[in-house]
Structure 1
């Protein structure tokens, strides 16, 4: 069950961070900070919940997916509601 908790936390955090990341120029300092901002939260959460090391690639993939969805879908949806 701990794997599910960390996965959901990773996805939720990176959805929001991806949405904000889309507002910055690619490869700028704020852009890099928003990509890596979830790491200081997710690593202690993973350790505290004692998830196996084998699931780290899954958490990374979910974080990347959250960033992608946040930057593409949420920003596009926000633009549609403003029009």
Structure 2
């Protein structure tokens, strides 16, 4: 398996976890939705790893990629509303 294929699979793990991190930030911590947001991508990433016939040695890479995706999605959940508010305020100022 080539390095680019493994890097692409890690990028897919990040992308799969982005919306889950976004959702996780919006629900109560330790609720069933919170646990679902964390654990729902695991079967998809497992199936991808099995489909590519990667060994257990790559599990830490995919775990780290999943954490990065969750954290990035959580950050975007807090960042995008600020951008929208700022854009709306700028439009109001221009209209006046």
Question: Fold match, TM over 0.5?
Answer: yes
Report how many aligned residue pairs link the two structures.
82
| Structure 2 counterpart of 1:32, from 21, 35, 47 | 35
More helix by proportion, 1 or 2?
A: 2
Alignment deviations for residues 51-82 of structure 1 (CA, whole Å, 9 cap, x no partner): 1210101110110111011102x112211122
Moved over 4 A (4+): none
Q: Pick 1 or 2: higher relative contact order, CA cutoff 8 A, min separation 6.
A: 1
TM-score, normalisation: structure 1: 0.90
**Aligned-CA RMSD value:** 1.2
Structure ID, larger Rg: 2
Structure 2 residue runs without a partner (length 5+): 86-96
User: Which stretch of structure 1 is more off in the superposition, 63-72 or 27-36?
Assistant: 63-72
Structure 1 residue runs without a partner (length 5+): none
TM-score, normalisation: structure 2: 0.79
